[in-house]
Amino acid sequence: MYSANSKIFNSTALSVLDLSPINEDSHARQSFKNSVELAQHVEKWGFNRYWLAEHHNMPGIGSSATSVLIGHIAGATNSIRVGSGGIMLPNHAPLVIAEQFGTLESIYPGRIDLGLGRAPGSDQATAYALRRTLQSSGNDFPEQLAELQAYFEPNRDARVRAFPGEGLDIPIWLLGSSGFSAQLAAQEGLPFSFASHFAPAYTMQALQLYHQNFKPSKYLQEPYAMLGVNIIAAETDEKAHWLATSQQQQFLSLTRGTPTRLQPPIDNMNEVWSAQERVAIEQTLDSRSTIVGSPETVREKLMRLIQETKANELIINSQIFDQEERLRSYEIVAEMMN
């Protein structure tokens, strides 16, 4: 059994999704040091890529200036791919993103990924503050995507061109938590990453849409799907579930509309959430795509997820308060991979 499972596991690439969490009683500078340390470790352990996510107006997430942080991580590592998971394109002029990622690719050739989402990554007031002069919304995402792709194409006749950016081969991924981006990725022949780590109920539907509608392109001949998954691994199930209360508290604060810095683990979540809040958060952090437990538990659930979804790659988010425990969680997964 282990031999067969190992073949399945080893055929699925593993990557890292980092929100550069800012802990209670800490600061962004320390979060960035932690991210560098994690990136250096997972590179050594054989992870495929390291992505950072754009969020705004959230005191517990340090990756708001995503392109800047991508450069910081790429500069501190040697070979792992580094990119965005993702850049929320409606927040930006496509030309600016083409120039930023053209710059990154020029400094770190062959290592930069550009993952794109169409959500604002924030509340409505913050979204307005971000793009008040752009007059953009998620509805024109396909047009924004086409404009961005055009900037990477050699086009001497265009009135506006991206330097650096033009002529560079930067893989573009579409990210989504519903069927919209799955269908667009399929139509455009692009790799697709689904946010099953917070939208587990739509995972199979989105993957089905992507695979059934995929059209080969100059970017990709066959569909390639990556799934987001939360993993909190520790030496025992009990310890892992205790560590997981930090992520549960984070989602509780988001549910209440009062986001906070990442909180230390607590012994009893029932003392801080209501029955209704518990149900809502457990639906979001569904056990199929939020995997918490010992190495044996994590291996079993990961195998099941891979077998059910046929994902080409998993990108792992681990919202763990203590840096050493966070590193250990990824190390446990790396030991399975190897």
CA distance 84 to 50: 8
Number of Cβ atoms within 10 Å of the Cβ of 195:
27
Q: What pLDDT, on a 0 to 100 scale, did the predictor assign at position 37? A: 98
Q: Which of 231, 225, 223 is nearest to 17 (CA)?
A: 231
In this structure, which amino acid lies at residue 64?
S
Enumerate residue ranges in the chain where pLDDT < 70: 1-9, 121-122, 132-138
Could you give phi then psi for residue 293, rounded to 5 degrees?
A: 160, -170
CA distance 240 to 246: 11
CA dihedral 201, 291, 119, 56 (to 10 degrees): 150
CA distances from 140 to 6, 134, 137, 143, 193 (A): 43, 12, 6, 5, 20
Domains and their CATH numbers in the chain: 2-337 (3.20.20.30)
Q: For 282-313, b where at least 16 C-beta lie within 10 A, e where not — what string?
A: eebbbeebbbbbbbebbbebbbebbeebebbb
Distance CA 75, CA 274 (A): 44
Q: Where are the alpha helices (DSSP H) in the chain?
A: 2-10, 28-45, 66-75, 94-107, 124-131, 141-152, 179-188, 203-213, 237-243, 245-255, 275-284, 295-309, 323-337
- Cα dihedral across residues 334, 115, 301, 323: positive or negative: positive
Q: Please, which residues bridge with residue 316 across strands? A: 16, 229
* Model pLDDT, residue 120: 72
Q: How far apart are CA 71 and CA 32, in angstroms?
A: 12
Residue 171, number of CB atoms within 10 A of its CB: 17
CA dist list (Å): 245 to 118, 226, 231, 263, 278: 29, 26, 13, 9, 12
In the block, tokens 């062959």 appear at 110
Please provide the distance, in angstroms rounded to a whole number, between the alpha carbons at the two ends of the chain.
17
pLDDT value at position 9?
64
Rounded-to-integer distance, Cα 219 and Cα 190, Å: 6
Q: Under 8 Å CB-to-CB from 118, ≥6 apart: which residues?
A: 88, 89, 90, 138, 141, 176, 180, 181
Q: Are the beta carbons of 97 and 89 closer than 8 angstroms?
A: yes
